[in-house]
Amino acid sequence: MRPLSAPRRARALPRDPAPSKWKYRYQRMMLTPGFRTLIRVGVPLALVAIIASSWISHDANREMAAAKLQEMKRGVQQRPEFMVAALDVTGADAALTTTVLAQLAVAFPISSFDLDLENVRSKIEALDGVRSARVRVGDAGVLNVVITPRVPVALWRDGLELRLLDEEGTFAGSVATRAERLDLPLIAGDGAQTHIAEALALFRDAKPIAERVRGLVRMGERRWDLVLDRDQRILLPSESPVAALDRVIVLHQARDMLDRDVAVVDMRNGNRPTLRMNKEAADAFRRVSHTEADN
C-alpha cells in the first residue's frame, strides 16, 4: 500500500489584467475633459469657497474685511493724480462767477471720485443767470466749468423787484435800480414775462419815438399800454398790437400828434381810435367853450 503524499500546494491563479468595475468606470470618467476639469479646478474652488464662507460668517471677520477694503479704496482715490485742487470758471462775468463759487462751496483739495459732476452741473444751471453749463475735471487737477450765460433783453418790474429777462422770458438775474440797466427796455404788469417776444416786437416798432418811450405795461394779462414821457399812453389792442402802433406812429409823423396836448391814444377799437386830452388842455378847452357860449 502506497503511503499518502503531502498535500499539493494549490496552484496560483493567473492574474486577470482587466480592471475592476469601479476602477474601469473611474478611468472612463477621467478620459472625459469636463470631469478632469471638475476634479482639478472645481474641487479646489469648492473647498476654498467653503473655507471663505465659514470665515466670512463671523461678524468680526466681515468688519475687518470691509475696513481693509475701504482703506485700500481710499488709498487709491487719494492718490495725487486723482485729486482736484482748484476751480476754473469761464464764460461768466465777475458777479456770476462769484455766485457760482458761492453755490458750489466745494472744499479743495478733493478727490475726483468724491465729485458728482452731474450734481455740480445741476446746481450751476439752477442759477438765474445761467442758460447751460459744462463741467469736467481737466489737467493739473482743475475742475473746469464752462458757462453759457443768459443774455438779458428786457427789464421786468415785478412789484418792488426789477428782474432781468432773456429772450425766452426766463429770469436772468435782478438789479437794485433802473439806472443799472438803462440799456434795456422796461416792461411791467402781471404776465408780462410770458409775452416777451411781443413786447420786444413793439419796442422795435417804436424806434421812431424811442427817445420818448418809457416802457410797456401789461394790462389785465391780455394787452399792452405803451407809456411815453409827459404821462402819455398808447392803449394797444389785444389783437395785432404792432399794426395798431404802426398807425399811431404814422399819424404822429404826419401831424405831430404825440407832440400835442394828448394824454391817451386809445387804439383798442381799431375802427374808432380815440384821443384824450390832458387835464390842462381839457380845462382850457372847456373855458373856451364856455366863453363862446356866453358870447
The dihedral built from the CA positions of residue 199, 205, 207 and 208, taken in this order, carries a sign that is negative
In a domain, 262, yes or no: yes
Both 197 and 288 in one domain: the answer is: yes
Grid cell locating 34: 469636463
268 Cβ contact partners less than 8 Å away, ≥ 6 residues apart: 223, 235, 236, 237
In a domain, 101, yes or no: yes
In a domain, 68, yes or no: no
* Chain segment 147-156, per-residue pLDDT in tens: 999 999 999 9
Q: What is the pLDDT of residue 285?
A: 47
Distance separating alpha carbons of residues 149 and 185, to the nearest angstrom: 19
Tell whether the model's pLDDT for residue 1 goes beyond 70: no
**How many other C-beta atoms lie within 10 A of the C-beta of residue 147?**
23
More confident residue, 106 or 176: 176
Q: What is the pLDDT of residue 177?
A: 93
In a domain, 118, yes or no: yes
In a domain, 169, yes or no: no
More confident residue, 200 or 36: 200
57, burial (CB in 10 Å: exposed 0-12, middle 13-18, buried 19+): exposed
**146: β partners:** 90, 134
In a domain, 28, yes or no: no
Both 199 and 284 in one domain: the answer is: yes
Question: Percent of the chain having pLDDT more than 70?
Answer: 87
In a domain, 258, yes or no: yes
Q: Could you list the residue range(s) of the whole structural domain that residue 263 is in?
A: 190-294
Tell whether the model's pLDDT for residue 6 goes beyond 60: no
Both 135 and 218 in one domain: the answer is: no
Both 215 and 288 in one domain: the answer is: yes
111-125, 160-174, 234-248, 275-289: range with lowest mean pLDDT: 275-289
Tell whether the model's pLDDT for residue 292 goes beyond 60: no
From 149, 176, 205, give the residue that closes a domain. Answer: 149
From 149, 180, 200, give the residue that closes a domain. Answer: 149
Element (H, E) at 188: strand 186-188
Distance separating alpha carbons of residues 242 and 104, to the nearest angstrom: 44
More confident residue, 79 or 92: 92
Domain tally for the chain?
2
Mean pLDDT of 132-146: 89
Mean pLDDT of 104-133: 88
Give the 3-state secondary structure of residue 274.
strand
Distance separating alpha carbons of residues 223 and 236, to the nearest angstrom: 7
3-state helix, strand, coil in the chain (%, to 5): 45, 25, 30
Grid cell locating 23: 476602477
Distance separating alpha carbons of residues 141 and 112, to the nearest angstrom: 9
222 Cβ contact partners less than 8 Å away, ≥ 6 residues apart: 238
In a domain, 22, yes or no: no
Question: Percent of the chain having pLDDT more than 90?
Answer: 43
Q: Assign residue 118 the CATH number of its domain.
A: 3.10.20.310
Both 201 and 139 in one domain: the answer is: no
Element (H, E) at 154: strand 154-158
Mean pLDDT of 190-215: 95
Distance separating alpha carbons of residues 275 and 171, to the nearest angstrom: 37
Single out the residue of 147, 181, 183, 148 nearest to residue 163, CA to CA: 181
Tell whether the model's pLDDT for residue 73 goes beyond 90: no
Both 283 and 216 in one domain: the answer is: yes
Tell whether the model's pLDDT for residue 223 goes beyond 70: yes
Tell whether the model's pLDDT for residue 274 goes beyond 60: yes
Tell whether the model's pLDDT for residue 206 goes beyond 80: yes
75 Cβ contact partners less than 8 Å away, ≥ 6 residues apart: none
* Chain segment 232-254, per-residue pLDDT in tens: 999 999 999 999 999 999 999 99
Phi-psi region of 173 (alpha: psi -120 to 50; beta: other; left: phi over 0): left
Both 198 and 275 in one domain: the answer is: yes
217-221, 222-226, 260-264, 279-283: range with lowest mean pLDDT: 279-283
Both 280 and 207 in one domain: the answer is: yes
Residue bearing cell 470618467: 29
CB 158 within 8 A of CB 179: no
